[in-house]
Every structure is written in structure tokens, then in C-alpha cells.
Amino acid sequence: TERTLVLVKPDGVERKLVGEVLARIERKGLHLVALELRTVDRETASQHYAEHDGKPFFESLLEFITSGPVLSAVVEGPRAIAAWRQLAGGTDPVEKATPGTIRGDFGLETQFNLVHGSDSPESAAREIKLWWPNL
Ligand code: ATP
């Protein structure tokens, strides 16, 4: 079994998609291990997105992710990292995510792509420690 960090970003919370996302996680058979709505500070946000520091969209990404509450969740199950990424769909909601995925069904723009998921066991460990240090 494996754990991954899932976020519903401020656009997803604002658009009332939290229930939709949680329902898809549960129907897939994944388990919710931790769940909390919180507004993240700039410091945590830049640590979370450290790999994108220096990229042209980094500043607006930080602004966006700190703009309102996000749902932070730890999700567990067999191949949870890949399973969640399958549910989420590709980064670009139009060019990459296919219909039937969260981003494919509800997203239009790459920055405002509604959800996040860890992309490897290493990032999952790092992100879960950052968001849930006491887990
Ligand atoms: P991963 O790359 O780990 O598979 P991801 O789908 O979250 O996952 P990243 O490439 O890590 O995508 O980018 C992180 C976030 O930054 C994206 O989810 C999106 O919100 C934003 N982003 C990525 N590329 C762009 C871009 N070209 N323009 C604006 N925002 C972007």
C-alpha cells in the first residue's frame, strides 16, 4: 500500500467540487487517511512547489495557491500515487486530461487545474511531511 498527497486547489474549493473529488476517491476504493481545509501561507506554498522555483509561472502559482482555502488530504491504497493521477487527469485540462477525469471534466486552464497529486514516492513522502508533519 502507498500514500499520496491530494489537494483540491482554491479554484476547486471555490467551485464547490470538494464533494465531487472526495466521491471519486472513495468510489475508486482509495482510503482517506487525513483531511483538512486550510489556507496556506507563502512559505509553505513555495516549499510545496520548490521544483518550479524560477519558472515563469512560479509567482502566479504561489499567488493562486494562497488565494483561498485548499483541501489537503492524505490518500492511501495500492498504487495510490498512480491511481490518483489517473483520476485527476493530465496537467493541461484540455490538451492532456481526457473526459472522465477530474481535470478533463471540470477544467479549462493549466494553472486552474483544480487538484494536485504527488508524482512519485519521493515527492509523496516530502509533501506529506510538509502538509502533515504529525502523521
Ligand atoms: P506533475 O508535474 O507532478 O505531474 P501537475 O499536474 O501538478 O503534476 P506540474 O507540472 O507539477 O503539474 O505543475 C504544478 C502546477 O503548476 C500545475 O498543476 C498548474 O497548476 C501549474 N502550472 C504548470 N504548468 C503551468 C503553466 N505552463 N502555466 C501556468 N501554470 C502552470
Q: What is the pLDDT of residues 37-62, one digit of tens each?
A: 999 999 999 999 999 999 999 999 99
pLDDT tens column, 75-91? 999 999 999 999 999 99
Those residues with Cβ within 8 angstroms of residue 1's Cβ, 6 or more apart along the chain or in another chain: 76, 77, 78, 80
Q: Are 36 and 71 in contact (CB under 8 A)?
A: yes
Q: Are 95 and 75 in contact (CB under 8 A)?
A: no
Atom nearest to 119 CA in ligand 1: 3
- Give the confidence band of 36 by pLDDT, cuts at 50, 70, 90: very high
Burial state string for 43-66 with b = 16 or more CB within 10 A and e = fewer than 16: eebbebbeeeeeeeeeeebbebbb
In 6-57, which residue ranges form alpha helices assigned H by DSSP? 10-14, 18-28, 42-48
- The answer to the question of whether 98 is labelled as a binding residue is no
- The answer to the question of whether 91 is labelled as a binding residue is yes
Instruction: Quote the pTM value.
Output: 0.96
- Give the confidence band of 101 by pLDDT, cuts at 50, 70, 90: very high
Q: Ligand 1 atom 7: the closest Cα is on which residue?
A: 116
Reading the block at residue 12, the C-alpha cell is 476547486
Q: Does the annotation mark 52 as catalytic?
A: no
pLDDT of residue 132: 98
pLDDT of residue 84: 98
Question: CA separation (Å) from 79 to 28, 30, 88, 98, 120?
Answer: 12, 9, 14, 20, 10
Average pLDDT, the chain: 98
List pocket residues of ligand 1, CB cut-off 6 Å. 57, 61, 91, 110-111, 113, 116, 119
**Domain extents in the chain:** 2-131
pLDDT of residue 135: 94
Which CATH superfamily, name and number, covers 2-131? Nucleoside diphosphate kinase-like domain (3.30.70.141)
- pLDDT over 90 percentage in the chain: 100
pLDDT of residue 109: 98
- Give the confidence band of 72 by pLDDT, cuts at 50, 70, 90: very high
Rounded distance from Cα 10 to ligand 1 centre (Å)? 14
- The answer to the question of whether 57 is labelled as a binding residue is yes
